[in-house]
Every structure is written in C-alpha cells, then in structure tokens.
C-alpha cells in the first residue's frame, strides 16, 4: 500500500494568481477567498438551471492506495458533504447528519492505463480493532473536482486508526478492446484510515466569490489518483458527426465504419456517443440513452445505445447500425434515464430533465 497523508485540492490548483477562463473552471482569486469552518457547508441561494460554480474549494486527506486483481483503489476523506442521489428521474437530497465525521471517497481504476472504472458495484465497511464501526451505502458520484467517484458521509468512533474494506462486485456492462474479459471479477481491498486532530486539521475549506455563476471548478490534478475525463473529439475513432446538448450534457457523436469497428460489432458500422459535462469534459456514465437515425424520411435505426467501456475511447454509449451512417442522415438522441450518479453541489441542477436533441 502507498500512503500519503495530505492532498491539496485548493491552493493554486483551480487558479493561480489570476482568474482562469470558464473552460478551465471558475475564476478563483486566493486573496478574496475566506476560510470557513470545516463543518460549515455553504450553499447557493439562487441556483441556475444547469451547471454552476460550487460554493467552496477544499483540501482532502489521502489515506492510501492498493492494487487487487484487475483494480487499483484509493481512499480519501474530506469534510461531510451535502449531495443529491438519483433514482430513475427522481432527485433526492441526502441530509447532512449532525454526527457525520467524514465524507469518504473511493476511486477505482485500471492500473495499466489509468482509466477510471464506473459501475464496478462498490460497497464499504469500516472497522476498528476488528469491530464494525460503519457499513453504509457508498454512492457513484459526480463532482467538479473529482469527476466520477464513489462517496458517502460516514460517522467514526472518535480518533484512531481504522480499516476500510472495499468490496468490488465487478462490471456488468460491455467491455471492448484490451478491456474485453477484464473487470468482471469480484475483489476485496483493505486500506488503513487515520482519523486524528492532525489529519482533520489538514482538511481545509474556502468559500468562492464566484459561487453560483455558470461554470465549473477545474478538476484536481493528482499523481496518485486519475480523473475520469472523456476523450477529446480528435481522439474518437474515425468521423465525428457533431455535438449535441441536452440539459447541459454534451454528446459527441462519431461514426465508425465496419472495417474499423471489429472490436465493437460483428462486421457492422458503429454509432458511438461520448457523453460529458460542459467546461471540463468529465465522463457522464450510467445513463439510459437511445438513438433514432432517419434517412430521407425513413427510420433506419431506432433503439438503445449500450453502455460500454473501451480501452481506447473510454466509457461511452454505442450500437451497431446496419448499413452505417450516411451524409444527410438525421440523428436524434433521447435520454430514457438521466445519469444515475449522485451529484455534489454545482451539478445537482443539471442532467435531469433532458429533452431529445438532434444533429
């Protein structure tokens, strides 16, 4: 196990001394930020419909990483967080318990490529000296600083050393390319967690004056833990047809001819849709996405896109299209189920009511 006590998310990462363009996250000026108590969770009163700059920037405590089977796993914690879960189309705010000690975060990725792995079926148990302290649901989540990860608020039994046991159920979605046959097996990992006055003192929170504005903070940049980023359009296979948007989600659509789609289909062309957040191109997984392709007024494809993890183009949605796509075809994307990921502040008003979009 690798261990490092402190990981800075705040000072100098989103920003530098001058404001940064919204593409790289919200403008952030250190000299105007105000440090706030670690238990306080600031909110934005008049939230826009869509992605907005979260109201605080924080540091967190890295507790360690370990490798087990096909997976590499990290555990971190910060102050308890307010967040919203999704069940189908229904969003529900999770109350912030008064006795919550930490917001525990876990990341799972492929140690060979650094690819973040959504949908691995993660659960967490925390013990101390062999006794169970907490066993909570840990949710798939989306935040501006970490992108996709797993997290929840946990209550600990005071200062001391704990063991976090992470149970990985394995992926049920399709894997292609070099990922075919991998990440399907269950695995269990253990990482130690230290909760003391010293480590709590390392977790700092700062308010941001630009909170509530349209935009997003820049994702963190860490050596130890990757961030789930969607590939650039130029890195998608073959021809990018265009980009569509729905409730702030961006869908980059690519058509892959049959002779280049052998890892996706049985000799047919492939329709590939890469979904991501605005501003930072973070992956948007766990969505029910459908497509309709019409040509000269006739429907040539109408169906579900399969959630897929590929070794080259990462997590995406795709399907074989008999006959392929042609110039002049109309493509309509419809979201049957919005992303089933819990949302931190800044994302809870986006990716909810997602009307059909065309290109």
Q: What is the pLDDT of residue 238?
A: 83
Domain annotation covers residue 4: no
On whether both 193 and 240 belong to a single domain, the answer is no
On whether both 86 and 169 belong to a single domain, the answer is yes
CATH (domain of 334): 2.60.40.2480
* pLDDT at 332 > cutoff 70: yes
Q: What is the pLDDT of residue 221?
A: 85
Q: What is the pLDDT of residue 312?
A: 96
What is the enclosing helix (H) or strand (E) of 200? helix 197-202
> Mean pLDDT for the chain?
89
- State the CB neighbour count (10 A cutoff) for residue 2: 12
- Say if strands 330-337 and 131-136 run parallel, antiparallel, or are unpaired: unpaired
- State the CB neighbour count (10 A cutoff) for residue 99: 8
On whether both 128 and 49 belong to a single domain, the answer is yes
On whether both 203 and 238 belong to a single domain, the answer is no
Domain annotation covers residue 225: no
Domain annotation covers residue 282: yes
Average pLDDT value for residue range 310-330: 94
Cβ atoms of 118 and 320 closer than 8 Å: no
pLDDT tens per residue across span 281-301: 999 999 999 999 999 999 999
Rg (CA), the chain: 21
Average pLDDT value for residue range 128-142: 94
Q: What is the pLDDT of residue 41?
A: 58
Domain annotation covers residue 257: yes
On whether both 248 and 296 belong to a single domain, the answer is yes
Query: For residue 164, what are the domain limits?
Result: 22-207
pLDDT tier for residue 4 given thresholds of 50, 70 and 90 = very low
pLDDT tier for residue 144 given thresholds of 50, 70 and 90 = very high
On whether both 85 and 173 belong to a single domain, the answer is yes
On whether both 76 and 192 belong to a single domain, the answer is yes
On whether both 49 and 161 belong to a single domain, the answer is yes
Domain annotation covers residue 81: yes
Domain annotation covers residue 226: no
Domain annotation covers residue 6: no
On whether both 53 and 192 belong to a single domain, the answer is yes
The distance of Cα 54 from the centroid of its chain, to the nearest Å, equals 16
- Say if strands 342-344 and 139-143 run parallel, antiparallel, or are unpaired: parallel
On whether both 242 and 201 belong to a single domain, the answer is no
Alpha carbons within 13 angstroms on the beta-carbon side of residue 103 total 23
- Hunting for tokens 């940049």 — which residue is that? 221
Q: What torsion, rounded to 10 degrees, do the Cα atoms 180, 186, 190, 193 define?
A: 80
* pLDDT at 8 > cutoff 70: no
On whether both 190 and 252 belong to a single domain, the answer is no
On whether both 160 and 34 belong to a single domain, the answer is yes
Domain annotation covers residue 216: no
Question: Whole-angstrom Cα distance, residue 329 to residue 92?
Answer: 39
Could you give the number of structural domains in the chain? 2
């Amino acid at each position: 196990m690798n261990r490092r006590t402190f990981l800075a998310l705040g000072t100098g990462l989103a920003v530098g001394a001058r404001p940064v363009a919204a593409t790289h996250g919200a403008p952030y000026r250190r000299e105007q930020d105000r440090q706030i108590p670690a238990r306080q969770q600031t909110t934005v009163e008049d939230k826009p419909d869509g992605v907005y700059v979260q109201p605080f920037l924080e540091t967190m405590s890295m507790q360690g990483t370990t490798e087990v089977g096909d997976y590499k796993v990290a555990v971190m914690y910060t102050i308890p967080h307010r967040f919203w879960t999704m069940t189908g189309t229904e969003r529900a705010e999770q109350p912030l318990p008064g006795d919550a000690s930490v917001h525990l975060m876990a990341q799972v990725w492929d140690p060979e490529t650094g690819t973040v792995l959504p949908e691995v079926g993660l659960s967490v148990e925390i013990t101390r000296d062999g006794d169970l302290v907490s066993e909570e649901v840990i949710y798939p989540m989306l935040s501006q600083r970490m992108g996709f990860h797993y997290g929840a608020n946990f209550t600990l039994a005071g200062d001391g050393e704990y063991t976090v046991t992470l149970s990985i159920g394995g992926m049920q979605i399709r894997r292609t390319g070099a990922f075919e046959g991998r990440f399907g097996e269950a695995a269990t990992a253990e990482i130690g967690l230290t909760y003391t006055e010293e480590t709590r003192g390392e977790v700092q929170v700062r308010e941001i004056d630009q909170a509530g504005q349209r935009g997003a903070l820049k994702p963190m940049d860490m050596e130890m833990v990757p961030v789930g980023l969607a590939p650039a359009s130029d890195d998608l296979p073959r021809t990018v047809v265009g980009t569509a948007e729905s409730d702030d989600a961006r869908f980059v659509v690519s058509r892959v001819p049959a002779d280049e789609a052998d890892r996706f289909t049985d000799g047919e062309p492939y329709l590939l849709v890469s979904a991501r957040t605005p501003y930072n191109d973070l992956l948007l997984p766990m969505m029910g996405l459908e497509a309709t392709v019409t040509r000269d007024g006739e429907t040539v494809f109408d169906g579900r896109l399969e959630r897929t993890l590929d070794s080259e183009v990462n997590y995406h949605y795709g399907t074989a299209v008999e006959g392929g796509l042609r110039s002049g075809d109309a493509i309509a994307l419809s979201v049957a189920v919005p992303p089933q990921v819990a949302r931190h502040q800044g994302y809870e008003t986006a990716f909810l009511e997602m009307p059909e979009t065309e290109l």
